[in-house]
A and B are shown apart, each in its own frame.
Chain A
């Protein structure tokens, strides 16, 4: 009955209450959250806070490229919540009839140029990435961070050829922090998460693309009440404060 209610109604009729910070007593069990790789660190902490507020609920995460996660969910992976790094993959999920209700945008992110600590090559703008001597890695166009990179290069009007198209954003970070690549295009949050192992060069607003992160309860959720509680918590005060700490901006 509960799952049926979530299927039909757009939001929160099941297991919701006036205070989104704590779920109702009806909420319990396990909530499986499939989330974009760029959310790894922030959602880890959101999950901790959620479980502290709701001791009966156990949150489990699976982090991968947004597009991989859609493929996994469509193949029957047991996800209760799907959080994407872009609208396209969320639309792909909805088109396949695997999303329950209307997705909620819970965070925004900007792209940034990631470079070695101290920016030894003195990269200051997107145009600098056109240097053929520079080893540049970006995400593959098949994943969201790659489409953003392509858009940014197009807007900059520079002839930029990357040396590799990585399968997810963390692979780009790794290649720069290992020193194998000189620069990459990642999310501002990834630069922050890399800490002292990398530095960031901001991309001006006129070139940048705002990445919108939507999340939704999946159609096949085995714990739709718990899923909705987690979504409410993420868009609530505590969730938003944690996301801001990790460099996400409010939607």
Chain B
């Protein structure tokens, strides 16, 4: 709606300047090698893919079930990550409290945890015999392991840090004078947060959601440890892919390609649409 605003025009001229920039040759060579490093494994998969059976595999009920479950759980995980992750990022960015660095490290620890260890840690806390899980079981007869909710918990555990870090960085970089101006004009804290702060950091927020969602979609280790593997309940696409590899590598490759196609489409689509509209420069 505000495409003709001065700031939009300024953005465009800056983009054009970036577009004309030339990399020094050694940097360009290294960058191209980096691109090849990421591209080759996928080209390898495409080369290995048994194209004649794609249609048949796609039609299998088991594949559709796993795909549906994967989309359902990863979207739920991304939603949960937003609801809790944005306030967490806001707290880490804006509130100066003792032990902030410690809390930040704690909340992003799951990013570096070996995935299966993440699953064991979830057992130890939310499992039927876990520190808290035992009370969920005893008092409410509620269990997380081997349930779809357990899958979502595992996905949130490993994916939320991506959102928190992205949003926190944006909140730190944004010009706080807009917030302050709104406050002096009498806006409530909530109004400022939802009408001034959030719109300003929207690109970072979208990027964080996409990163968290993509991580949740590909989650394997914590899921198979904590939630188990049951078709329709806890068997997501990565789990189905891993098991297919045991008996039918062709099917595994097709499943992997489906997952890659979905993620890639979303990443490319969202980048062009939401993240600054820089498609004309990058491609």
Residue in contact with B246 in the complex, picked from A67, A163, A178, CB distance below 8 Å:
A67
Residue in contact with A167 in the complex, picked from B227, B229, B234, CB distance below 8 Å:
B229
Cβ contact within 8 Å between B123 and A180: yes
Instruction: Please tell me if A39 contacts chain B, counting CB pairs below 8 Å.
Output: no
Cβ contact within 8 Å between B245 and A166: no
Cβ contact within 8 Å between B242 and A163: no
Chain B residue at smallest Cβ distance from A137: B228
Distance in Å from the Cβ of B227 to the closest Cβ of chain A?
8
Instruction: Please tell me if A143 contacts chain B, counting CB pairs below 8 Å.
Output: yes
Instruction: Please tell me if A179 contacts chain B, counting CB pairs below 8 Å.
Output: yes
Mask of B94-116 contacts with A, CB within 8 angstroms, 1/0:
00000000000000000000000
Chain A residue at smallest Cβ distance from B147: A163
Instruction: Please tell me if A237 contacts chain B, counting CB pairs below 8 Å.
Output: no
Taking residues whose C-beta sits less than 8 angstroms from the other chain, chain B's interface range is: 20 to 34
Cβ contact within 8 Å between B123 and A178: yes
Instruction: Please tell me if A78 contacts chain B, counting CB pairs below 8 Å.
Output: no
Residues of A within 8 A of B128 (CB): 135, 179-180
Residue in contact with A164 in the complex, picked from B120, B230, B246, CB distance below 8 Å:
B230
Mask of B220-233 contacts with A, CB within 8 angstroms, 1/0:
00001101111000
Cβ contact within 8 Å between A179 and B129: yes
Mask of A231-245 contacts with B, CB within 8 angstroms, 1/0:
000000000000000
Q: Which residues, 60 to 84 on A, are CB-close (under 8 Å) to B?
A: 65, 67-68, 71
Cβ contact within 8 Å between A142 and B246: yes
Chain B residue at smallest Cβ distance from A75: B249
Residue in contact with A165 in the complex, picked from B230, B244, B245, CB distance below 8 Å:
B230
Mask of A164-195 contacts with B, CB within 8 angstroms, 1/0:
11110001000100111100000000000000
Sample (29) of A-B pairs whose CB atoms are under 8 Å apart? A67-B246, A68-B246, A71-B245, A135-B145, A137-B146, A137-B228, A140-B229, A140-B243, A142-B244, A163-B228, A164-B227, A164-B228, A164-B230, A164-B234, A165-B228, A165-B230, A165-B243, A167-B224, A167-B242, A167-B243, A167-B246, A171-B224, A171-B225, A178-B120, A178-B127, A179-B128, A180-B123, A180-B127, A180-B146
Q: Footprint of B on A, CB under 8 Å?
A: 65, 67-68, 71, 135, 137, 140, 142-143, 162-167, 171, 175, 178-181
Q: Footprint of A on B, CB under 8 Å?
A: 120, 123, 127-129, 145-146, 224-225, 227-230, 234-235, 242-247, 249
Apart from A68-B245, A135-B128, A180-B146, what 16 extra A-B contacts exist at CB < 8 Å? Answer: A68-B246, A135-B146, A140-B229, A140-B243, A140-B246, A142-B244, A143-B246, A163-B230, A164-B228, A167-B224, A171-B224, A178-B120, A178-B123, A179-B128, A179-B129, A180-B123
